[in-house]
Structure 1
């Protein structure tokens, strides 16, 4: 046994009285289905992590999928990867280069890509972390708030107006976070509190037009945002569940909430946090 790991386990037991958990997670994904057949989805930040997993699950559920991101090469690589998993879906996979902070470009992009007028599922997923109040600066703060909150605010406005004008009954799904429940000590936390509020406001405003708005709040998730390099270890002893969430788990819920199965879920945030932010804040240190 690795001596450092052994010492860590002993120290944890002495300090908390809890043994180290040995986690093995069997991640179940939805089988190919027609839950989203005929639907048209736009997923921001779809090149990796949760956004990519949602794109993959949506394709398996019959949707036409467009992913966005800032880097054309990464978008092309992600679409090729999706095509390898879905070789018969070439006509249902596309990408658009779009910066969530460039609000003025949204309308032009929609005008240039007429098929976006048919979008009936918007997934606001793109986001960046950071911005601790103890060491952030104004530039970093603005970057986080504009990417995580301002972008979804105005993109939702554009998509919702198009749905309303064209009598499209659809869904907006916002990716929040366990941070939307935590004390706000960072720009990231504040942005996710804002997403939670925006979800409620959009749901209240758009339900009369047949547009259903909900959110998913993942806890710490095994994505490149949190885990650099190849993801081999998902144990997280500071979380009640004992491990990171997997993007595929979030994607399963995204399919359910945007399909007919989820019609009665309105203005809700589904907290897939493993207990983070709900029954514990111990997975995050609060210092100044």
Structure 2
């Protein structure tokens, strides 16, 4: 009788709405999932409990995505626990909005540190670590195509993510590792819904031809495809937005 070793996934920002849905979906696909979190240990443990209650395998590990020492330790601990890394999904990110003319440069630097440097640090470790057949999935946003006022600084960080993702895919020639980005449109996460009147939510939902917001499960479905069967998709940005852009 032969046994198969589960594939191993690291999901950064796995306590957020999309990150949690990704962690749950990859665990349902049979992967052992490292639930990365930055500060909310209780929420990370709750995610792990959800994974294990559904018959999956998960471990919560803390780290600052922009700190190379902390993330190196996370990758090393993952290897010690599970023997290696097959999938890395970078959902960790922050969004601070405002018009260019009045934008606070401190907010810009803070967002750049998490969204750009953090993605670069984790991508670098993934490039060094992922086993053959592996996949790296970074996160962009459909806002890069929508040109919405107030989103310039955020879109700029995600444009940088797209650039590094597409180039890294070519740098990993011969490794049998895919590198792609998912670019969600408006998605019904607690962060997105908070503070928005229902009228505004309905208006945004109506922009998509499918006349609804995306759900975290919709985005997780796209990630699961890129992390699993989508082996011929490489060096691409997959827009998961229901046709909004």
1:209 and 2:175 are equivalent in the alignment:
yes
Contact 1:122 1:173 survives alignment (8 Å): yes
Question: In structure 2, what is the Cα distance between the partners aligned to 1:275 and 1:159?
Answer: 31
Displacement of 1:117 after TM fit?
Answer: 5.9
Shift of 1:251: 1.0
1:116-131 correspondence runs (5 A): 118-131=84-97
Q: What is the DSSP-based 3-state SS (H/G/I as helix, E as strand, rest coil) of the residue aligned with 2:190?
A: coil
Contact 2:67 2:121 in 1 (8 A): no
Q: CA RMSD in A?
A: 2.4
Match 1:152 to one of 104, 119, 130: 119
Task: Give a deviation string over 1:212-258, Cα, whole Å, max 9, x none.
Answer: 111211100001220128xx997422334322101111111211111
TM-score by length of 1: 0.73
Q: Deviations over 1:87-134 (max 9, x none)?
A: x33xx1111111223233222333455237601100011111124224
* Mapping 1:103-252, distance limit 5 Å: 103-113=68-78, 114-115=80-81, 118-132=84-98, 133-163=100-130, 168-183=132-147, 185-228=151-194, 235=202, 236-252=205-221
Q: Deviations over 1:194-223 (max 9, x none)?
A: 111122111111132111111211100001
Where does the alignment leave 5 or more consecutive residues of structure 2 unmatched? Answer: none
TM-score by length of 2: 0.85
Q: Count matched residues.
A: 232
Kept in 2, the 8 Å contact 1:149–1:195? The answer is yes
Equivalent residue for 2:46?
A: 77
Q: In the alignment, does 2:232 pair up with 1:268?
A: no
In structure 1, runs of 5+ residues without a counterpart are 1-35, 279-288
Structure number with bigger Rg: 1
